[in-house]
Chains A and B, each alone.
Chain A
Amino acid sequence: MTAPLLSLRGISKSYGQIRANQAIDLDVPPRSIHAILGENGAGKSTLVKLIYGVEQPDSGTIMWKGAPLSLASPAEARRAGIGMVFQHFSLFETLTVVENIRLVVPGRKADLAERIRTLGRDFGLEVDPFAHVHALSVGERQRVEIIRCLMTNPKLLILDEPTSVLPPQSVEKLFDTLRRLRDGGVSVLFISHKLEEIRAICDHATILRGGRVTGHLDPREHDVHDLARMMIGRDMPEPMPALARSGGDKRLEIIGLDYRPDDPFAVPLSGISLTVRSGEILGIAGISGNGQTELAALISGETELPREQRDRIYMMGKDVGALDAATRRRLGFAFVPEDRLGRGAVPEMSLVLNGLLTAHPLKLLKHGLIDRKNAAAFADECIRRYDVRTPGPETEAGALSGGNLQKFIVGREIMLSPKLLFVAQPTWGVDIGAASAIRRRLVTLRNEGMAILVISEELEELFELCDSIQVLHNGKLSPPLVTRDTRPEEIGRYMIGARSPSGKVLA
């Protein structure tokens, strides 16, 4: 065996009482794609931060090309030839794509823009170099991050959950990219919880659980259930079977909605029609940046419709076009937004106060004052019922990991027992154990008669959850496709705008 490119021995790191990494050993050979597998809180992020120089280990050694390496900062890591694409983006929203990249990569704007376009074409990461980042969807922002990393020609590329926002076609394309990079002499450290993906692309995997290594193996030699068991320490929960139902009352109806946003970079919507009935889950598939953000804000009431458009959205049979977000919630609407920090939760506030954000009608107020006891009890219950890993309800929301905060927000909205629940990206960044718990919960609620609308980029998720799926592409919504009569490839064709005549269309 060749000498490893990167080699860790006995790496440990603690944050106060929490031992995030304990005696981690890891070898990444040259020309390999190496997976790090683990649930949220298993220590994946910490380990990666140590390799990328964001944090320094308490003990242990890092060897790079056979020599000891100590990194004081990510800048040094980049100089040494280690690049990383983070799960949380670090882009300046007020700058354009090319300006963001120019902060890290020297060069003239025009040349950089050309390189961005070339990389985009080669790797399926199309993005307009002159678009402002604030106007990009989450998916497009991740593309920018990946491109920025590729531009510094790293020897080791770390990717933290890179595929979570890509459509199936682009995932395959990205994998091609990664294989080509590997063949060109770049090793890839691939962090994911999507076991199928890891089996498809990685030649080694290191499994972490509770901050320790629980196994080194070749993922191609094990099936998904084996991997999952090693990762979560027990068997995977089975998906919840959906009861057949029909003919519930209409809880959400959108009829021929057109929307022309003020922001020139936002996606205009045209002719959007959909219906969600009680006891039904409707999924909206599509690559992000095709109008999901705009549609979600129109349904939630955060974006107001122009006056002449106000008879297009109905909730529980009422025209809500002129009603604000709070009034729609009072009708029995609840919503989990795709951005958790700063929208679904206030990062600087405790979980108790974040519970109050939308759950205040649940007797958490007394004569206009906050009822501290009830508010704390609500947060406690939400933490317990939805398995939120946190030191306690007084913890600030910003200190929680993305997945745990998502569990809290989903829990909070479900505890409102809404008539209509709208969830954007329900399990994005959530570990598989918790993700399957959330999905089971959604199906249970559907069986109990709740109307649920889900926006997701993960097709497997939509196929597991939904009674029917509509695809959003370029601001237009496909007709509803009955999930059990439709194959993923057909949805995929709608996702890239190639209409399929063969999909079974609901009457």
Chain B
Amino acid sequence: MSAFSGTILPVFVRREHASLTATLLAPPLALATAAILNLGLYVLMGRDPAAVIYAMLLEPFLSWASFSEVLLKAGPLLLIAQGLAIGFRAKVFNIGAEGQFILGAIFASAIPIWFPQATGQWIWPLMLLLGAIGGAFWASITAFWRVRLNANEILVSLMLSLVAAQLLNYLLLGPWKDPAGFNFPQSVMFQYDAMVPILIPGTRVNVSVLLALMLSLAAWVFMQRSFTGYKLQVGGLAPRAAGYAGFSEGRAIWLSLLIGGFAAGLAGAAEVAGPLGQLQRSISTGYGYAAIIVAYLGGLHPIGIVFSALFMAVLYIGGDNAMVSANLPIAAVRVFQGSLLLAYLVAVAFVRYRLEWRRPAYRSPS
């Protein structure tokens, strides 16, 4: 008989405590793994991996102009991801940030579109506020059906994103189309006071990046220090403990979705009142979905998310660079994002579990 009975493969053993080392190492290791896999892919595609790496990961940092674009991209990702992460910690899976982002853009655009002659420094703050309310309103539909009928929030929020895109199309092809716009599906250009002030002269970086950082700080206080944030986390980690303590599940769902929608709507408003300057069909390049990756890559932790948002923005800008200079297809960036999330999800398994190689066993002859 064989002396070895089968257990050459390591087994997963649950750790007694979450490992801090693994928590900190997971993102860089996931990045390294994803990078190696994707480089292999680029080689298979016949591209020069060194050129891709250079364009993708280094070039964004090499000039102020391109780094400012990174900051510009990081803003909305950061905002949306902070909002989503709060819900994810409560195990409320709002996948529809894309739709809430669009609604935020629509609500914010109402002011410059209906009052194109208005002036005053109150316009852009009001637009941001309206946008946030619009996003929260869109998310509230999901919350209502989830609490009322127990309709799955993943499906409802996701499908509402498609509805939001159609609503945007309707407005841009109908009532809100710029009459002098040669029939292009876009609104009028917004007046000066409807634009978020520029933060760094000579770039497109505006005050909304600061706003995103401030809200990140607020998210940190909310999740790590406030009792309401604590209740959300209890609901996510142990729903029955939340029920036992009398923390209302419905309230947690409402709060999670409203916060997520508020942040996404704010991001949408900042986008039309910022780099775009008008409402158009392509206001979002998948921010709402990329922010899901950002949230998880940041460990659903407000500080981690600041870094992951910045990193994801680098990947966007670097991906654009690589398309130009290394002739990479646009899908390659998406593949990189996807494999990064996958690698990260594998890596976080080691926060709570460790591998154990069992000693090869011998059995008594029997």
B247 partner residues in chain A, CB cutoff 8 A? 326
Query: Which bucket holds chain B's interface residue count?
Result: 20 to 34
Question: Does A56 reach chain B (CB closer than 8 Å)?
Answer: yes
Q: Which of B244, B362, B364, B365 contacts A325 (CB 8 A)?
A: B244
Residue among A66, A325, A365, A399 facing the most chain B CB atoms (10 A cut-off) = A325
Stretch from A109-117, A146-154, A356-364 at the B interface: A356-364
Pairwise interchain contact A325-B246, C-beta atoms closer than 8 A:
yes
Cα(A348)–Cα(B234), bound, Å: 9
Pairwise interchain contact B237-A349, C-beta atoms closer than 8 A:
yes
Pairwise interchain contact B245-A357, C-beta atoms closer than 8 A:
yes
Question: Does B227 reach chain A (CB closer than 8 Å)?
Answer: yes
Pairwise interchain contact B244-A399, C-beta atoms closer than 8 A:
no
- Contacts A73-B11, A356-B230; A344 near B244 (Cβ below 8 A): yes
Pairwise interchain contact B361-A302, C-beta atoms closer than 8 A:
no
Cα(A329)–Cα(B244), bound, Å: 10
B246 partner residues in chain A, CB cutoff 8 A? 301, 324-329
- Contacts A72-B7, A73-B11, A370-B230; A325 near B243 (Cβ below 8 A): yes
Residue among B18, B221, B233, B364 facing the most chain A CB atoms (10 A cut-off) = B364
Cα(A345)–Cα(B242), bound, Å: 9
With an 8 Å Cβ cutoff, the count of chain A residues facing the other chain is: 47
What sequence of 0s and 1s flags, for each residue 212-239 of chain B, a beta carbon within 8 Å of any chain A beta carbon?
Answer: 0000000001000111101001100110
In the assembled complex, the CB of B327 is this many whole angstroms from the nearest CB of chain A, namely: 47
Pairwise interchain contact A302-B230, C-beta atoms closer than 8 A:
no
Q: Which of A68, A80, A353 contacts B230 (CB 8 A)?
A: A353
Pairwise interchain contact B7-A343, C-beta atoms closer than 8 A:
no
Nearest opposing residue in chain B for A73, CB measure: B7
Q: Which of B233, B240, B359 contacts A72 (CB 8 A)?
A: B359
A398 partner residues in chain B, CB cutoff 8 A? 16
Nearest opposing residue in chain A for B246, CB measure: A326
Cα(A301)–Cα(B243), bound, Å: 9
Q: Which of A70, A328, A342, A368 contacts B226 (CB 8 A)?
A: A368
In the assembled complex, the CB of B80 is this many whole angstroms from the nearest CB of chain A, namely: 25
Question: Does A387 reach chain B (CB closer than 8 Å)?
Answer: no
Cα(A253)–Cα(B318), bound, Å: 69
Question: Does B360 reach chain A (CB closer than 8 Å)?
Answer: yes
Question: Does B5 reach chain A (CB closer than 8 Å)?
Answer: yes
Cα(A73)–Cα(B7), bound, Å: 8
Nearest opposing residue in chain B for A54, CB measure: B13
Question: Does A268 reach chain B (CB closer than 8 Å)?
Answer: no
A-B interface contact total, Cβ < 8 Å? 108
Cα(A335)–Cα(B16), bound, Å: 27
In the assembled complex, the CB of B70 is this many whole angstroms from the nearest CB of chain A, namely: 34
Nearest opposing residue in chain B for A77, CB measure: B361
Residue among B221, B243, B362 facing the most chain A CB atoms (10 A cut-off) = B243
Question: Does A71 reach chain B (CB closer than 8 Å)?
Answer: yes
Pairwise interchain contact A348-B365, C-beta atoms closer than 8 A:
no
Q: Which of A65, A302, A328, A368 contacts B227 (CB 8 A)?
A: A368
Pairwise interchain contact B361-A346, C-beta atoms closer than 8 A:
no
Cα(A25)–Cα(B17), bound, Å: 31
A300 partner residues in chain B, CB cutoff 8 A? 244
In the assembled complex, the CB of B335 is this many whole angstroms from the nearest CB of chain A, namely: 33
Pairwise interchain contact B5-A76, C-beta atoms closer than 8 A:
yes
Pairwise interchain contact A72-B245, C-beta atoms closer than 8 A:
no
Q: Which of B226, B244, B361, B366 contacts A370 (CB 8 A)?
A: B226
Nearest opposing residue in chain A for B15, CB measure: A399
Question: Does B148 reach chain A (CB closer than 8 Å)?
Answer: no
Q: Which of B7, B17, B243, B361 contacts A399 (CB 8 A)?
A: B17
Pairwise interchain contact A80-B363, C-beta atoms closer than 8 A:
yes
Question: Does B183 reach chain A (CB closer than 8 Å)?
Answer: no
Pairwise interchain contact A70-B359, C-beta atoms closer than 8 A:
yes
Cα(A493)–Cα(B266), bound, Å: 67
Question: Does A67 reach chain B (CB closer than 8 Å)?
Answer: yes
- Contacts A67-B365, A365-B227; A302 near B237 (Cβ below 8 A): no
In the assembled complex, the CB of B6 is this many whole angstroms from the nearest CB of chain A, namely: 8
A70 partner residues in chain B, CB cutoff 8 A? 359, 361-362
Pairwise interchain contact A370-B225, C-beta atoms closer than 8 A:
yes
Cα(A79)–Cα(B234), bound, Å: 41
Question: Does A242 reach chain B (CB closer than 8 Å)?
Answer: no
What sequence of 0s and 1s flags, for each residue 326-366 of chain B, a beta carbon within 8 Å of any chain A beta carbon?
Answer: 00000000000000000000000000000000111111111
Question: Does A369 reach chain B (CB closer than 8 Å)?
Answer: yes
Question: Does B241 reach chain A (CB closer than 8 Å)?
Answer: yes
Cα(A369)–Cα(B218), bound, Å: 12
- Contacts A326-B247, A368-B228; A357 near B234 (Cβ below 8 A): yes
In the assembled complex, the CB of A411 is this many whole angstroms from the nearest CB of chain B, namely: 16
Cα(A369)–Cα(B226), bound, Å: 4
A343 partner residues in chain B, CB cutoff 8 A? 238, 240-241, 243-244
Interface residues of A in 270-308 (CB under 8 A from B): 300-302
Pairwise interchain contact A358-B360, C-beta atoms closer than 8 A:
no
Pairwise interchain contact A370-B227, C-beta atoms closer than 8 A:
yes
Question: Does B248 reach chain A (CB closer than 8 Å)?
Answer: yes
In the assembled complex, the CB of A289 is this many whole angstroms from the nearest CB of chain B, namely: 18
In the assembled complex, the CB of B352 is this many whole angstroms from the nearest CB of chain A, namely: 8
Cα(A302)–Cα(B249), bound, Å: 11
A344 partner residues in chain B, CB cutoff 8 A? 241, 244
Pairwise interchain contact A71-B361, C-beta atoms closer than 8 A:
yes
In the assembled complex, the CB of A503 is this many whole angstroms from the nearest CB of chain B, namely: 34
Pairwise interchain contact A302-B11, C-beta atoms closer than 8 A:
no
Question: Does A448 reach chain B (CB closer than 8 Å)?
Answer: no
Question: Does A145 reach chain B (CB closer than 8 Å)?
Answer: no
- Contacts A76-B5, A326-B247, A327-B246; A69 near B241 (Cβ below 8 A): no
Cα(A63)–Cα(B359), bound, Å: 17
- Contacts A329-B246, A339-B240, A346-B234; A72 near B227 (Cβ below 8 A): no
Cα(A71)–Cα(B225), bound, Å: 46
- Contacts A65-B366, A343-B240, A399-B17; A72 near B358 (Cβ below 8 A): yes
A-B pairs with beta carbons under 8 Å apart, 25 shown? A70-B359, A72-B358, A72-B359, A73-B11, A75-B6, A79-B5, A80-B363, A80-B366, A300-B244, A325-B244, A325-B245, A325-B246, A326-B246, A326-B247, A342-B240, A343-B244, A346-B238, A349-B234, A357-B241, A357-B245, A358-B245, A369-B221, A370-B225, A396-B16, A396-B17
Known: A79-B363, A326-B247, A348-B237; 19 extra A-B contacts, CB below 8 A, are A67-B366, A68-B364, A72-B5, A76-B361, A80-B363, A325-B246, A345-B241, A346-B238, A347-B238, A349-B233, A349-B234, A349-B237, A353-B230, A357-B245, A358-B244, A360-B227, A365-B227, A368-B228, A396-B18
Q: Which residues of B does A touch, CB under 8 Å?
A: 5-7, 11, 16-18, 221, 225-228, 230, 233-234, 237-238, 240-241, 243-248, 358-366
